[in-house]
């Protein structure tokens, strides 16, 4: 499949402005004139995934449903954040999945950020990170602004910037088709 940016429709499986801006930023850098729209779709996972596997599955479900929601769409994009446990305690994680009509898929992940025990214990009880951050900060709807990433890093970086990187990483199979093609593992690598 060839991606012609002036005729390309990309559907992001969310109407969250942070996710839309992040996807638009990276996709526009890759495919200049692409039209990018958001569509609210279900992630098919819990509102606050509690493992990397569940978080990745949520992103993939969003990408598949976004692509299926518009017949003319070239790409579907799913973005999902969740929590995973590590040897250093609970971590915030996130993934981007991009899928096209040929079945090509790209996966990227960005943030791995230690979560304070006070927050992770509430997530374990079923609370959603965005709702907790709203309570902690006194700011309404932080997940559509700077997110836990912005708050915990004191705005050194934000949720949007983190998602931008995840989308950029997920674009790599679409930008380097020869390297990601089936067949010879050395395909696309020049001889020595």
Per residue in 21-65, pLDDT tens? 999 999 999 998 899 999 999 999 999 999 999 999 999 999 999
Whether pLDDT at 191 is above 90: no
Report angle CA 10, 111, 88 to the nearest 5 degrees: 150
Mean pLDDT of 4-24: 90
Q: What is the pLDDT of residues 89-108, one digit of tens each?
A: 999 999 999 999 999 999 99
How far is the C-alpha of 142 from the C-alpha of 136, rounded, in Å? Answer: 10
Three-state helix/strand/coil letters over 95-148: EEEEEECCCCEEEEEEEEEECCHHHHHHHHCCCCHHHHHHHHHCCCCHHHCCHH
With 0-12 / 13-18 / 19 or more C-beta atoms within 10 angstroms meaning exposed / middle / buried, residue 161 is buried
- Residue 42 — φ and ψ, nearest 5°? -80, 140
The position carrying tokens 């060839």 is 2
pLDDT tens column, 109-162: 977 899 999 999 999 999 999 999 999 999 999 988 999 999 999 999 999 999
Per-position DSSP letters for 69-83, written without gaps between them: H-TT-SEEEEEEEEE
pLDDT at 1: 56
* Chain position carrying tokens 């973005």: 79
Looking at residue 184, what is its pLDDT? Answer: 44
- The owner of tokens 């991606």 is 3
pTM higher than 0.85: yes
3.30.2320.30, 3.90.950.10, 3.60.15.10, 3.40.50.300: CATH of 5-115+158-179: 3.90.950.10
Residue-level pLDDT at 3: 61
Q: Which residue has the higher pLDDT, 191 or 7?
A: 7
Please tell me the predicted confidence (pLDDT) of residue 172: 96
């Amino acid at each position: 499949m060839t991606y012609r940016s002036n005729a390309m429709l990309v559907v992001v499986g969310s109407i969250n402005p942070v996710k839309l801006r992040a996807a638009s930023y990276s996709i526009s850098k890759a495919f200049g004139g692409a039209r990018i729209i958001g569509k609210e779709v279900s992630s098919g996972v819990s509102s606050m995934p509690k493992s990397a596997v569940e978080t990745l599955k949520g992103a993939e479900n969003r990408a598949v449903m976004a692509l299926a929601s518009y017949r003319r769409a070239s790409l579907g994009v799913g973005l999902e954040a969740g929590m995973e446990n590590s040897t250093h305690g609970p971590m915030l994680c996130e993934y981007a999945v991009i899928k096209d009509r040929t079945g090509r898929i790209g996966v990227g992940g960005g943030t791995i950020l230690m979560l304070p025990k006070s927050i992770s214990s509430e997530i374990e009880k079923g609370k959603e990170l965005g709702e907790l951050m709203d309570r902690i900060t006194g700011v309404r709807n932080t997940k559509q602004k700077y997110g836990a990433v912005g708050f915990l890093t004191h705005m050194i970086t934000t949720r949007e910037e983190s998602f931008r990187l995840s989308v950029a990483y997920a674009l790599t199979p679409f930008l380097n088709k020869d390297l990601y093609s089936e067949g010879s593992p050395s395909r696309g690598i020049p001889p020595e």
